[in-house]
């Protein structure tokens, strides 16, 4: 039932999926997970249920700018689309979507597998960074995906397919 601060969410997103410079003045960047052909078919959305320094709402994470882009205030619909009470009580839920055309043009049907692998790496990063921040993270096996599609206003080329509940575990990793 605790809130998630903007600073904590910012750290979680940056170190899990953000774009990091490869050196001073190089102008080159790298993300902390592999992506087949550097196509990056996975998009990151956040539904903040209880925030501190950030209002409740649905956001798109802009990796290049390390910023959250407000989509809507429809968090209650997202909350009710979750099938588990602990997830409904989380401070936020991270939703990952797959944009098929980014990889299918180059890799055909293999692109879907590459997207699943990429999402797995992202999920693992969220778990690891979440643990370092003493957050509780839980990948969810299901939700009402049609609600997420509608609330995020996604077309048929982009599909929500993985979500992670974020909150406070009550256990600190640091003494």
At 20, list the tokens. 């990091």
- Find out whether 154 and 100 touch, Cβ atoms under 8 Å: no
Whether the predicted model's global pTM rises above the 0.85 cut: yes
For residue 121, what pLDDT is reported? Answer: 98
For residue 170, what pLDDT is reported? Answer: 60
List the chain pLDDT tens, one digit each, 175 residues.
Answer: 789 999 999 999 999 999 988 877 777 889 999 999 999 999 999 999 999 999 999 999 999 999 999 999 989 999 999 999 999 999 999 999 999 999 999 999 999 999 999 999 999 999 999 999 999 999 998 999 999 999 999 999 999 999 999 998 765 444 3
Side-chain-facing half-sphere of 134: CA atoms under 13 Å: 8
For residue 174, what pLDDT is reported? Answer: 41
- C-alpha span between 14 and 16 (Å, rounded): 6
Instruction: Quickly tell me which residue has 């990889």 as its tokens.
Output: 103
For residue 172, what pLDDT is reported? Answer: 46
* φ/ψ of residue 167, rounded to 5: -165, -165
């Amino acid at each position: 039932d605790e809130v998630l601060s903007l600073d904590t969410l910012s750290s979680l997103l940056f170190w899990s999926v953000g774009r990091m410079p490869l050196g001073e003045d190089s102008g080159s960047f790298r993300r902390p997970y592999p992506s087949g052909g550097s196509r990056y078919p996975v998009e990151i959305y956040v539904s903040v249920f209880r925030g501190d320094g950030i209002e409740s709402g649905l956001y798109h994470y802009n990796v290049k700018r390390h910023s959250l882009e407000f989509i809507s205030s429809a968090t209650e619909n997202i909350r009710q689309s979750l099938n588990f009470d602990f997830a409904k009580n989380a401070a936020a839920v991270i939703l990952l979507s797959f944009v098929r055309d980014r990889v299918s043009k180059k890799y055909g049907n293999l692109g879907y597998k590459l997207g699943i692998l990429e999402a797995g790496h992202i999920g693992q990063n969220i778990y690891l960074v979440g643990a370092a921040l003493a957050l509780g993270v839980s990948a969810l096996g299901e939700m009402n995906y049609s609600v997420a599609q509608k609330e995020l206003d996604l077309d048929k080329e982009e599909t929500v397919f993985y979500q992670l509940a974020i909150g406070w575990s009550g256990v600190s990793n640091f003494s």
